[in-house]
Amino acid sequence: EVQLVESGGGLVQPGGSLRLSCAASGFTFPDYWMSWLRQAPGKGLEWVANINQDGSEKYYVDSVKGRFTISRDNAKNSLYLQMNSLRGEDTAVYYCAKKGGTVNYWGQGTLVTVSS
Amino acid sequence: DIQMTQSPPTLSASVGDRVTITCRASQSISIWLAWHQQKPGKAPKLLIYGASNLESGVPSRFSASGSGTEFTLTISSLQPDDFATYYCQHYSGYPWTFGQGTKVEIK
């Protein structure tokens, strides 16, 4: 059974940093692209970033380029999202997801709140 | 960026009803279209990929069609478990974008 467990969310001040982690199990993690997506409170879904199997290809939504970095550690079956220069509009539940053609399995999410 | 527009934003229906949700893309996305279901407080779940392919384990009362810029998701006989918000999403290049969602409510 596929399991994706996010951690690292919390309250952070504007301009601060946070690193999200996602522990994957139930599938061969190194074989798959992975994604981060988010959902602001009461709002719709937004794709944030994708990373390929060996970490050599990364794609980001424009609003996070230069501030967020997606990475992975295949030896640890883990996905990460380093978030710097956080803004109020980054407040959201962040979901780790496994990518087939598109996202085909979502984690349960971790809440990031950016506020002073 | 490709804009995805869903209609209606909200749909009120009864158990047993046939319901259809429409998604339009601002430019052609071929068949690179997915539908996700989200229940309150829960993570989304993939229902459909490739515009018309049912994800494993998804009930056959769900079906979808379309290509290019016009897509539909149909639930043939609405069940209590189907009351949720549905999102279309394109994956025809980056950035991936989602429709604003269609909330299916109990009438």
**Among candidates B34, B55, B98 on the partner chain, residue whose Cβ is nearest the Cβ of A44:** B98
Residue A27 in contact with partner chain B when CB distance is under 8 A: no
Residue B1: pLDDT over 90: yes
Q: What is the structure's pLDDT at B9?
A: 98
Q: What is the structure's pLDDT at A69?
A: 98
Q: What is the pLDDT of residues B3-35, one digit of tens each?
A: 999 999 999 999 999 999 999 999 999 999 999
Query: How many Å apart are CA A36 and CA B92, to the nearest integer?
Result: 17
More confident: B90 or B107: B90
Residue B85: pLDDT over 90: yes
| Residue of chain B with shortest Cα separation from A37 | B96
Residue B81: how many other CB atoms lie within 10 Å: 9
The nearest CA of chain A is from the CA of B77 a distance in Å of 24
Q: What is the mean pLDDT of residues A21-26?
A: 98
| Beta-carbon contacts below 8 Å between A and B | 54
Query: How many Å apart are CA B33 and CA B30, to the nearest integer?
Result: 8
Instruction: Give A114's pLDDT tier (boundaries 50, 70, 90).
Output: very high
Q: What is the pLDDT of residues A91-109, one digit of tens each?
A: 999 999 999 888 999 999 9
Average pLDDT over chain B reads 97
Burial class (CB in 10 A: 0-12, 13-18, 19+), A21: middle
Q: What is the structure's pLDDT at B91?
A: 97
ω into residue A30 within 30 of 0, thus cis?
Answer: no
Cβ pair A112, A20 in contact under 8 A: yes
